[in-house]
Amino acid sequence: MREFYRTLGLFSTLLFLAAGCTTSFWATDNELFLRLPGTERRSDQVEGVLRPWERIERIVEKGDEGAKAQPEEKNILAFQLIKEYNRSQDPLVRRAAIRSLGKITETAHIEPALETLLTALGEENLGNRITAAEALGSYGARAKSENLTEVRQSILTAFIEAYRSQPFLSEAGSDKENNERKDFRLALLHSAPQLGDTAQMVDFLAEAMQDEPLDDGALRLAAMVALSKVTHKNYGTDELLWRDYVAYRQGKRSDPPKEISGLRAALNLNDSALLK
């Protein structure tokens, strides 16, 4: 009898694998799993429908092509990528579209692409939100070089709103959620300096530098590093000096604090390493 149940279990397992799985069991954030037999069978049931990993490869190709294309062709490819993003529910396909749009918009201002990237900041998937933040940082750098002040303003405003919308949760069992929120906020702080030195930027980074319950200091440190990149000032990781500098920028202090000397920076290995 034991042998019968063992055989029955093995047969059921093989039958399940052979049929291919169409449930959420295969839902994954790992591109490697898109190549498993179950997912291929699901997408191959309709003739002409690309498998997920094939769609991703096509999307990546369009991004690479668009980065080098002429303006008119850039627009065409960007609209194709926007269509791919909007029609797909697969987070990896959508992420590939976000990343490829970012490649194209590094060298061109395309308003619909900007709107799509701004929308992606609110995605449920963490990886997609981070990818959108990175793409928008590059978009902002392009807008800075072309003096597109309103574009930079819209991106920075979206960054600030997204940052504020992800406060840490105090409820028990929120560790995973808080870690994801921290990673997203760190991505925003990492990308923000590409938007340039403005009063609003300094105010935003000063806000992020404030102590926040449940933060382990990562956000405060990232904000100081971002301030250094934006202002080209060297106050290391001395929070008091940065607060004095922010007060100077806000008109609350007549003179800026003295920057850290080269010798001090050389002796303080943590500070000098962070500012590279």
Average pLDDT, the chain: 83
Q: Which of 249, 262, 246, 179 is nearest to 214 (CA)?
A: 179
Task: Give the separation between CA 87 and CA 110, rounded to whole angstroms.
Answer: 20
**pLDDT at position 142:** 85
Q: What per-residue confidence (pLDDT) applies to 99?
A: 97
Determine how many CB atoms are found less than 10 A away from the CB of residue 121.
23
Measure the CA–CA gap between 242 and 255, rounded to whole angstroms: 13
- pLDDT tens digits along 198-229: 999 999 999 999 878 888 999 999 999 999 99
The contacts of residue 190 (CB under 8 Å, 6+ apart) are: 133, 134, 137, 222, 226
| Residue 25 CB partners (closer than 8 Å, separation 6+) | none
Would you place residue 27 in the very low, low, confident or very high pLDDT band (cuts 50, 70, 90)?
very low
* Cβ-proximal residues to 230 (8 Å cutoff; 6+ apart), any chain: 192, 193, 196, 197, 201, 202, 205
Please report the pLDDT score of residue 11 as a whole number: 47
Digit-coded pLDDT (tens) for 228-263: 999 999 999 999 999 999 999 999 999 999 998 765
- pLDDT tens for each residue of 149-170: 999 999 999 999 999 999 999 9
